[in-house]
Structure 1
Amino acid sequence: MPISALADVDEATSPPAPSSAPGSKPAAKISCLACRAAKRKCLTPDAFTVCKRCTDQGLECEYQKHRRGRRKKNADEARAPSRSHSRSPSRHESPPSRPLADRERPDKGRSIPSSAISRHSIRFSHVVPIEGDSSPYIPRPSSQPPATGGANLALLGSDCPDPVMSGFLSEADAYELFEFYFHHLNVAVAILDPVLHTATYCRDKSSLLFSAVLTVTAKIIRPEAYPSCLLIANKLVGQAVEYGLCSIEVVQAIIMLTHWKKADDSSSWRKVGYAIRMAQELRLNQRAPRPLPRNERQAREILNRERCWLNLIVADYHLAMHHSLPRMIAQDDVDDPAEWITEHPHLPCPGEAVIAPWISFSRLTRLFADMLASMNGSPSNLRSLHWLEMEYKRWHRRWIEKNSEYGFLQQQVAMIKMCGSLLHFHICEYHLLFTARYRSNGTTMDTSEPSQLSYAFAECTDVALGLLDIFQTDFVAHGYLPFCFNMTWVGVAITSVWLIKNIGAMDKRDRKAVILKLTEVADSTAAASRSSEDMSAYTHRLLKHLLDSASPNWQRAKPSAARDGDAGSASSGPTPGVIAPPHTWTVSSAQQMIQDNLWNPSIFQDIPALRTDAQHQQCVTGNSAYNDNHPPPDPVAQQIPGDVLFPAADDDIWKLLFPL
């Protein structure tokens, strides 16, 4: 007689199972619900002990008796209630080893049911997705692989102490820096959860993450300690790679050090690529089952993993666009984060709401880059541009006009407005480029005459000035420059370069507006600079260089002259020495303008003068055009040609922001 048949006879002749009584131990070992759902082995001696897997992963360990066999009808159960307690219904009703309900339910994503092959004891390799054949290479939503290299975590902390252990910062400094980080930096780019990632938690969990928070914050409020902290953080990153550590804390530290890096750091794209691979190994790209656990800490740990992946999406888009390099995260791996943002209002993390408009903005900007590369003069180009403009307007209505619905902070509103203005400028620039190439028929552009070209040019000018207005009113006025997102500096550089390159084609009023606005921004960035190597200082030097390369009449425009309109000699007819609009006017994209003017080995050697010899003679002889309101230019400014846009000493930073 088969062994299974003997087991059935023994069970039929045995007394009633004690598991039917409330609170008694089950007759046979059963797995907890969490292990059964994950198809994992449940390591526990009985149903009254929390299993090892739930203990390690902090899951709720709950047991429920198996119900095997075909379910009885309600009428039969009501007619014979006592018989259901007298014997076990699981083995006499149905012999299969799996519940019939499970066998009839289609397995989502499974092509081969395990019941079809279990009788033959067949086992397959990890590439065959069969239910029950667990493998670390098959991603499972409920499976969270442990961090590798765990034995070296202590070595990482002892071999390279954090900034507090090294004596660069005190304990009080560390708590102060953490508080500043969550009030100012984390609301700009929400990487950490302020409830989970306290100073004590980060220091105990990961010396790298603890040091990263101190480093990026010391850059702003402890600049004297920043170089030492950065040295420690970079050494810890290198040791994490050397030891093969793989944990979410390493990923978060790399993201943090990338967003608030040194201006001349060129390693961002490579480091984020390493962090993306690590995150994929940790299954951070897999959304956990919903609903979230009722335990707040468990729920926040799940959201912490998902928030980390969304931050990697933003970083991947941002670095790929501005470094002209491919993305690593496939489009299929990017979900719409708007629902994710609004699904857990009871578990707030200040700053994370801005992730949704950032990702959608990055997608639109990536689409613009593809459209610009494929422009060929076809009417389909304008249809695509119209579609992109409609998408931008929807984005603007949702995230800017209705920002109060999402609880954005003031700093986040400023960043969203900056992104929207930059995208709007690119759309207008595309329209201008298309009109200049394919619709102008070689005619000279005259801003005083209405035409498609002059209208597109004026719209581009207005939007570029509007972006600088946002910079002044939304960033400078609130003191956000020391810790704002890098997109801010990219937008200011793009529009400033475009305005100076095209100032000769503008009318007098627009020229004055451009000079005055760039002067305001230059003064603001100088005041906000904390050191000579931060982005405020680099941007200040760029703007001063742009202003010096313009005509002396334009760079010396005074606010009083702008307010007086056409009064005075500053607005009376054409001024000698002013560059007139060119006879044949062409335009390229702002990105191309920047890339064409990056490499300037020496701007003060063998450089042609900006003005002609006749104009220079007028300056020397004291022509009446250079009166008290317009004194003669200084010799240095006179030698800088109009097509040299970037200071030679700062070329490296602009190559990082606008590489070929």
Structure 2
Amino acid sequence: MNACLPCRKVKMKCRQGSQPASKCERCARKSLDCVFQQHRRGRKPGTKISKRNMPALPSTYAAVKKTPDYSGDTPSIAESVPAEEPGNLQPSGLLNQEAMRGKFSLRRILSTTDGDALEPPETSSPGRPEDPIEMGILNLSIAKSLFENFIIVLNPYISQLDPNLHTFLYVRQKSSFLFTAVLAMSAKTFNPVMYNALYDHAQDLYTESFRNGAKSTEIVQAILILTYWKQPQDTRAWTSLGYAIRMCMDMGWHKLTAYSPASRATADETRRREIRNIERTWYVLFVYDRSISLQTGRPWMIERNAFIESIEAWCGDPIADPNDDLLGAFVTLRLMSSSIFSLHAPHSRRGERVPLENTEALLSLKKASIERWERHWIQNVEQKQSSEDETHKFLIRFYGTHFRLQLFSLPLQDVLSSEFSDSSLHLDIIWAAFTGAMDMLKLISRHSGQLYFAQDSIHVMTAYSAAFLVKLLLSAPDTVVQEIEATTIDVIRTAAQAFSQQATAPGTSCELQARFLHNIATKLSQRRRTEQPTPIAKFSNSDRNSSLDQNDINSTRLPFLPLEVGQAMPQSLDQPLPEVFIFQHTDLDPLFTDDGAWADILSSAAFNTQNGVLLA
């Protein structure tokens, strides 16, 4: 029987009405347009299918239909995934197929009726507007200005939206949640007066989408945008990222096939851009997932596959946006980083060491790979962007330098923590790690114009480089420290000044970062002035502030103590720092292999690695 298009779309039984040429029973009940169309299956006469070179049509075609934010019937890639083979005796093969592919619920699994009975009864719309303009939060002209500023200024940092697809009208009609999130993050930077109202409304829409279990590409993008420039006290980045990834897996994105240009030939440009919108978001999630895994030490959720590895071909699509090259650079960098860190993962039992001779050759090859990666993607960026735009080149160099620093911290932890190894014999490793951290701070100083708009990950990496330099000064041989200490303090102080010039209001990321770096530079200078000719990082009681009780000097091996409860940070860089910010007795053993060592160092310096936020 030839079913009508609405019934065929949801794969429901189509029963003809009692009268000829009337609507089917389901369309009549739901007031749908009942349109019958002849089947168009099979190949045209005279055509022949080649099984060998037939391109695979990406399953993303099923997920690009326009739907509202909070629709319960959001189309997904999972709906087009073929059913499990008949011989599959696992739950995914025996239980309700629809429930196993994106609509997992006990009601569907235990259903004794057809799909119509599972559809919720139609309810009247509450009539409550979700559009921030209709709600009177802001007017149309301000909204257009904020949206344009986001697309032009902020979007190049995150490579999230396609300016050719995500126009003002498109985003506003497609998703109130995404529209509000874009306006809120733009207002945080360009119109702070409007920020609180827009942010609160975006959070309300976030709560509503979670409560309703809604799933769409726009919801995922809105959640991500809210995490890039989150409030300093927001600790939900890890949780929100996991929720977004699970939502995408529920829509079948993890089954995306390798990019193939031939598969896009029959689609119009708008449809191709909508397909790329889904793929771009999955690439962004891969980068975000791997980055936060490296920062926090937690496991990642997205595995590499043929689609992830086809990123360069994806960036070469004729309709690719210039921002896609930055995303391509990040994806390839995370592919490199996952391979090297999996080979030199931290050991669970302290005392186990990886022989340096087994890793130095590999690290040398990886360093050369990073240099080639940087040249390749900067060249791509320069070919597609004006010479005045330095944003993407700054981000590529900064992320590459950060990876190089992490790379050489792997053997360095063995060099400095071993009591049997003479660290002076491995000065090349110490120097490579030191120059990596210094280069990151120098890039900050040279590209200060990009700092005000940068996402929080830039601040995370900057904090890591500064804390690493502190740890190196407290652990390296005396001869090395004497050569690098003065230069290190100057570079940290210069970076602090670069951030302070961007800090227009208290509590912003730049202002917190400026105080953080200034505090480090001040304490290092005080230590250098008061240091006695004793072994490095060893202090006598007279060198410590007398206001600290000896019981407060514990064995936490931190270069400085956190603020006590209720004690406020100075509101100006010119004010004296609290006495509790005093260097304490520091163990020579840096204990890099301790799972909590780096978390303690950074959290004591006003940075929480578990939640990925700077602490006020």
- Asked if Structure 1 and Structure 2 have the same fold, meaning a TM-score greater than 0.5 normalized by the shorter chain, the answer is yes
- Tell me if structure 1 keeps the 8 A contact 2:374–2:400: no
Residue type of the alignment partner of 1:600: P
- Tell me if structure 2 keeps the 8 A contact 1:549–1:642: yes
Q: Could you list the per-position Cα deviations for residues 134-162 of structure 1 after superposition, in whole angstroms to 9, with x for gaps in the alignment?
A: 857469xxxxxxxx99979965xx54644
Which residue, 321, 329, 336 being the options, matches 1:357? 329
Give 2:550's aligned residue. Answer: none
Tell me whether 1:520 sits opposite 2:520 in the alignment.
Answer: no
- Tell me if structure 1 keeps the 8 A contact 2:325–2:377: no
Query: Shift in Å at residue 377 of structure 1?
Result: 5.9
Give 2:411's aligned residue. Answer: 431
Q: Could you list the per-position Cα deviations for residues 196-216 of structure 1 after superposition, in whole angstroms to 9, with x for gaps in the alignment?
A: 221212222211111011011
Gaps of 5+ in 2: 17-26, 49-81, 103-118, 539-554, 568-573, 586-599
Separation of aligned partners in 2, 1:649 and 1:251: 33
Separation of aligned partners in 2, 1:149 and 1:418: 51
Separation of aligned partners in 2, 1:538 and 1:182: 26
SS at match of 1:483: coil
Tell me whether 1:212 sits opposite 2:181 in the alignment.
Answer: yes
Bigger CA drift: 281-290 or 252-261?
281-290
Query: Shift in Å at residue 652 of structure 1?
Result: 6.2
- Tell me if structure 2 keeps the 8 A contact 1:337–1:355: no
Separation of aligned partners in 1, 2:189 and 2:576: 37
CA RMSD of aligned residues (A): 4.8
**Which structure ranks higher in relative contact order (CA pairs < 8 Å, sequence separation ≥ 6)?**
2
> Structure 1 152/488 Cα, relative in aligned 2: closer, same or farther at 3 Å?
farther
Q: Could you list the per-position Cα deviations for residues 239-282 of structure 1 after superposition, in whole angstroms to 9, with x for gaps in the alignment?
A: 11112222221111101111221122101111122211221222
Aligned residue runs from structure 1 range 54-133, under 5 A: 127-128=92-93
Q: Could you list the per-position Cα deviations for residues 285-305 of structure 1 after superposition, in whole angstroms to 9, with x for gaps in the alignment?
A: 333775113311111111111
Q: Percent identity?
A: 19
Aligned residue runs from structure 1 range 167-246, under 5 A: 167-246=136-215
Query: Shift in Å at residue 641 of structure 1?
Result: 1.9
Residue type of the alignment partner of 2:498: S
Aligned residue runs from structure 1 range 450-489, under 5 A: 451-473=424-446, 475-476=447-448, 479-489=449-459
> Structure 1 635/135 Cα, relative in aligned 2: closer, same or farther at 3 Å?
closer
Residue type of the alignment partner of 1:525: F
Tell me whether 1:396 sits opposite 2:396 in the alignment.
Answer: no
SS at match of 1:176: helix
Separation of aligned partners in 2, 1:522 and 1:386: 36
- Tell me if structure 2 keeps the 8 A contact 1:320–1:326: yes
Tell me whether 1:532 sits opposite 2:506 in the alignment.
Answer: yes
Tell me whether 1:657 sits opposite 2:598 in the alignment.
Answer: no
SS at match of 2:308: coil
SS at match of 2:159: coil
Which residue, 399, 407, 413 being the options, matches 2:393? 413
Residue type of the alignment partner of 2:221: Q
Separation of aligned partners in 2, 1:541 and 1:272: 28
Separation of aligned partners in 1, 2:461 and 2:246: 30
Separation of aligned partners in 1, 2:407 and 2:526: 32
Give 2:68's aligned residue. Answer: none
- Tell me if structure 2 keeps the 8 A contact 1:263–1:653: no
SS at match of 1:344: coil
Residue type of the alignment partner of 1:171: L
Separation of aligned partners in 2, 1:246 and 1:497: 40
Residue type of the alignment partner of 1:246: K
Give 1:616's aligned residue. Answer: none
Give 1:496's aligned residue. Answer: 466
Separation of aligned partners in 2, 1:486 and 1:68: 55
Residue type of the alignment partner of 1:511: E
Residue type of the alignment partner of 2:562: N
- Tell me if structure 2 keeps the 8 A contact 1:163–1:229: yes
Residue type of the alignment partner of 2:420: N
Query: Shift in Å at residue 655 of structure 1?
Result: 5.8
> Structure 1 635/275 Cα, relative in aligned 2: closer, same or farther at 3 Å?
closer
> Structure 1 151/203 Cα, relative in aligned 2: closer, same or farther at 3 Å?
farther
SS at match of 1:263: coil
Separation of aligned partners in 2, 1:205 and 1:534: 31
- Tell me if structure 2 keeps the 8 A contact 1:548–1:640: no
Aligned residue runs from structure 1 range 2-41, under 5 A: none
Residue type of the alignment partner of 2:462: V
Residue type of the alignment partner of 2:308: D
Gaps of 5+ in 1: 1-27, 46-51, 73-107, 114-122, 140-147, 446-450, 555-575, 586-592, 606-632
Give 1:304's aligned residue. Answer: 277
Tell me whether 1:294 sits opposite 2:274 in the alignment.
Answer: no
Query: Shift in Å at residue 367 of structure 1?
Result: 5.0
SS at match of 1:582: coil
Give 2:244's aligned residue. Answer: 275
Aligned residue runs from structure 1 range 563-642, under 5 A: 577-580=530-533, 582=535, 596=558, 600-602=562-564, 640-642=581-583
Q: Could you list the per-position Cα deviations for residues 513-546 of structure 1 after superposition, in whole angstroms to 9, with x for gaps in the alignment?
A: 1122111111111111232222111111111111
Residue type of the alignment partner of 1:419: Y
Query: Shift in Å at residue 168 of structure 1?
Result: 3.5
- Structure whose alpha-carbon radius of gyration is higher: 1
- Tell me if structure 1 keeps the 8 A contact 2:354–2:414: no
Bigger CA drift: 200-209 or 397-406?
397-406
Query: Shift in Å at residue 651 of structure 1?
Result: 3.5
> Structure 1 378/134 Cα, relative in aligned 2: closer, same or farther at 3 Å?
closer
Separation of aligned partners in 1, 2:332 and 2:178: 28
Query: Shift in Å at residue 340 of structure 1?
Result: 4.3
SS at match of 1:291: helix
